[in-house]
């Protein structure tokens, strides 16, 4: 479960609900460089499906992994373009 990635930046959206985790992830990714990895910390259980769907439907990002530990949902998104 605990894969490690070379994280460039961490975005904390704990306590925030839909659509904030996705929208803020997108904004954080926009501010990063190609090859950077964003770690997103969320408590919204919907973020598991939402960030996966967002990464799938958006050009230039790849979802490297997701983890669910005691109500903390962690997402790793790489900016690929």
Residue 56 has which token pair? Answer: 């799938």
62 binds another protein (CB under 8 A): no
Q: How far is the CB of 48 from another protein (least distance, A)?
A: 15
Residue 18 a catalytic site member: yes
The residue within the footprint of another protein, chosen from 1, 4, 34, 59 (CB under 8 A), is 59
Q: How many CB atoms lie within 10 A of CB 9?
A: 13
User: Can you say whether the dihedral through the CA atoms of 57, 63, 65, 67 is positive or negative?
Assistant: negative
Q: Examine residue 19 and say whether the peptide bond preceding it is cis (omega within 30 degrees of 0).
A: yes
Stretch that binds another protein, among 1-9, 20-28, 34-42, 70-78 (CB under 8 A): 20-28
**Is the CB of 20 or the CB of 64 nearer to another protein?**
20
Give me the active site residues, please. 18
């Amino acid at each position: 479960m605990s894969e490690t990635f070379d994280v460039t930046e961490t975005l904390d959206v704990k306590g925030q609900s839909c659509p904030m985790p996705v929208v803020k992830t997108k904004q954080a990714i926009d501010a990063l460089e190609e090859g950077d990895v964003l770690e997103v910390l969320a408590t919204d259980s919907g973020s598991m499906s939402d960030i996966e769907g967002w990464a799938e439907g958006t050009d230039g990002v790849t979802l490297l992994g997701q983890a669910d530990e005691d109500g903390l949902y962690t997402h790793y998104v790489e900016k690929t373009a």
